[in-house]
Structure 1
Amino acid sequence: MNVWGVHNDSLTTELVDEGFISVGWDGLPRLDSIPNGRDGLKRALDALYPDAKPRSIAGQAGILARFRDEIAVGDVIVAPYKPDSTINIGIVSGAYYFEASAETHRHRRPVEWKKVGLPRTIFTQSALYEIGSVLTVFRIRNHDEEFLTALGSAASSPEEVSEQVSHAVESQEEEDSDNTPRASRIARHTRDFVLEALHRNITHREFEEFTAALLRALGYQARVTQYSQDGGVDVIAHRDPLGVEPPQIKVQCKHRTGTTSAPEVQQLVGTQGPGELSLFVTLGTYSRDALAIERQRPGLRLLTGEDLVTLVLENYAALPEEWRNVIPLTKVLVVADSVGS
């Protein structure tokens, strides 16, 4: 059993809904109609991209050969899901096929998804760095045990899965097969670091304080309400200094990396009075039913962990020093992804 990483930035929910992984190169015919292995793929790519460099053609042929020939039924797929930066894990259930009716990404392999929406905080930074490969299809060699442990876990919460993964890698040597510090990998590493720091290094009450501080950095007046466990409003924000002019924003904070359900979102909506707005902030994601409420409810905004990280990075300089110490960052120049491709 091999463990493969597959990146897909073109398709989203259909990957899980219809159960497959895919690659682009839509100008090519069915890959199983191209003879002579990798050399045949190179010739087909040469014809499709006559101006491409030989090294680029060889790299593309290698990706397509892995996808068509090397991935086997029963192999494990680790697929980072870009829209909410979670991770899906599944098992390859069939051979390559060509979906002629699809608008894009017609080259596909069927997958039975076993774990969907896993928070990135479950895995070690070095494992996340490995699946940040610039390749579309790649073998996961150094940290495969982490993903296999998550795949086999019967735990119901991300925290329990994370603990099991931590135990599995305690004795495993951590190394990365590709340590090239390219821009996209460093950017992803930074985002993972911010999310990890907010998850591991502060309490729920401090997360409420942090959310208020971030809202102030965005130009709002914000105050934390009296702490309670009743699931009520955690932060109140407004634009005017006194808080007497509408709209008033009621904020609920969930200091966790799991999935927030529709009833939890509906609870916040129930506190929203006339002329008021609602904001839900979490380090994780939301269920489809919860997102449906956001689409149907004016004045409601659901912030995921990835949304929160983006706001932190865009407004980092305006955050108070106490929070910048929790998330220590600095600006650097890095190697562009295009170099050497």
Structure 2
Amino acid sequence: MTAIWGVHNDTLTTELVEGGFISIGWDSVRDLREIPGGRDGLKDELSRVSPDAKPRAIAGWAGVLSRLRDEMQPGDVVVAPYKPDSTINIGVITGAYQYAADAPTHRHRRPVQWRKVGLSRTVFTQPALYELGAFLTIFRIRKHADEFFAALNTTEESVDVVTKVVEAVAQTEPDEDSIDEPRASRIERHTRDFVLETLHKALTHGEFEEFTADLLRALGYQARVTQYSQDGGVDVIAHRDPLGVEPPQIKVQCKHLTTTVGAPEVQQLIGTQGQGEYLLFVTLGSYSREAISIERQRPGLRLVSGEDVVSLVLENYTKLAERWRSRIPLTPVLVVADAADA
């Protein structure tokens, strides 16, 4: 039976997709193919290179290395959260364990053919995302594997269509046997997913424009939604002074989508820019490499991704209008830090 694995990588980013592989750290450990004795042999090697590590940590690390070297098989599926824009990549393992001796870091690898890249987290249910957020580097996905298989196997590209395909196989009954790990990073990720999903699924396109204007007000700007249709992509006008007659004026385009925004859409907004005006592109998705390149080369242009929007919501939550706080109900709490088990 094909296994499906979750893989977390906080070190490498674009290299994984461009190079077609997954990887883990432990660079002080030599080529795993040279270490005999199964998992016990890995424990011995880890104890040798990390003599101050606790036995519990050694056992956990050996489990990760064993899963990469021994348990994963060609044809298995990997689901990898992509940290830079908080999307999800899904691929298929195509070969055995490899040791990239010349690589500067993350030398322990498996070749992967990436089939789905940049999937919005809103495609999947909250329980599936929570399982994917396990506090492990490599782990089996069991309870919600059907959702990730469905996303992998669909030929559709539309986020809305892929979401419906996933919803059709999603587990609807609560899982009473699941073991929660209420660590800070998992709770934060769960909260961010909730905010993003609410903004995407609970708001209309028009409401998202109004929300963006209110978010800018929470940041200290005056803002208004444009009321005309022939606006060249400008949905919100923002400014610092109360009347909006003093420069600079900020033109904002809002995309109520979780897909990737490309260079053409950004160029359309640039076409509306007048002298002394700034531009802001706001989306719930991410941006292509070409779009990001335009931002870097053009002063006065800022691209705000879905993760940026969520961060602004969390940082300015108490300043948001009540209409949005009631739609996105949150409360501050103290949680167990990730370092508690270190």
Same fold (TM over 0.5): yes
Distance 1:253 1:91 in 2: 35
1:97–1:108 CA contact under 8 A, matched in 2: yes
Cα deviations by residue, 1:284-313 (Å, 9 ceiling, x for unpaired): 011111111111111111111000000000
2:134–2:181 CA contact under 8 A, matched in 1: no
> Which residue number in structure 2 is paired with residue 226 of structure 1?
227
How far apart are 1:261 and its partner, in Å? Answer: 1.6
How far apart are 1:216 and its partner, in Å? Answer: 0.6
How far apart are 1:174 and its partner, in Å? Answer: 4.2
**Cα RMSD, aligned residues only:** 1.3
> Which residue number in structure 1 is paired with residue 266 of structure 2?
265
Give the paired residue count.
341
> Which residue number in structure 2 is paired with residue 289 of structure 1?
290
**Matched residue SS, 1:339:** helix
How far apart are 1:339 and its partner, in Å? Answer: 2.2
Amino acid at match of 2:260: T
1:213–1:222 CA contact under 8 A, matched in 2: yes
> Which residue number in structure 1 is paired with residue 330 of structure 2?
329
> Which residue number in structure 2 is paired with residue 115 of structure 1?
116
TM-score normalised according to structure 1 size: 0.97
Distance 1:10 1:79 in 2: 13
> Which residue number in structure 1 is paired with residue 248 of structure 2?
247
2:286–2:305 CA contact under 8 A, matched in 1: yes
* Unaligned ranges ≥5, structure 2: none
286-295 vs 74-83, which moves further: 286-295
Cα deviations by residue, 1:168-216 (Å, 9 ceiling, x for unpaired): 1256764674312111111000000000110111111110000000001
> Which residue number in structure 2 is paired with residue 49 of structure 1?
50
57-66 vs 174-183, which moves further: 174-183
> Which residue number in structure 2 is paired with residue 339 of structure 1?
340
1:143–1:174 CA contact under 8 A, matched in 2: no
Distance 2:155 2:142 in 1: 24
TM-score normalised according to structure 2 size: 0.97
Q: Percent of counterpart pairs with the same letter?
A: 68
Amino acid at match of 1:14: E
> Which residue number in structure 1 is paired with residue 89 of structure 2?
88
How far apart are 1:228 and its partner, in Å? Answer: 3.0
Amino acid at match of 1:339: A
**Matched residue SS, 1:240:** coil
2:144–2:171 CA contact under 8 A, matched in 1: no
> Which residue number in structure 2 is paired with residue 166 of structure 1?
167
2:6–2:78 CA contact under 8 A, matched in 1: yes
* Unaligned ranges ≥5, structure 1: none
- Where does 1:1-341 land on structure 2 (aligned, <5 Å)? 1-169=2-170, 174=175, 177-226=178-227, 228=229, 232-341=233-342
1:176/1:327 Cα in 2 relative to 1: closer, same or farther (>3 Å)?
farther
1:292/1:64 Cα in 2 relative to 1: closer, same or farther (>3 Å)?
same
Tell me which stretches of 4 or more aligned residues in structure 1 moved more than 4 Å.
170-176
Amino acid at match of 2:24: V
**Matched residue SS, 1:338:** helix
Cα deviations by residue, 1:7-66 (Å, 9 ceiling, x for unpaired): 000001010011000000011111111111111110111111111110110000001100
Cα deviations by residue, 1:254-284 (Å, 9 ceiling, x for unpaired): 0011111211110001101111110000000
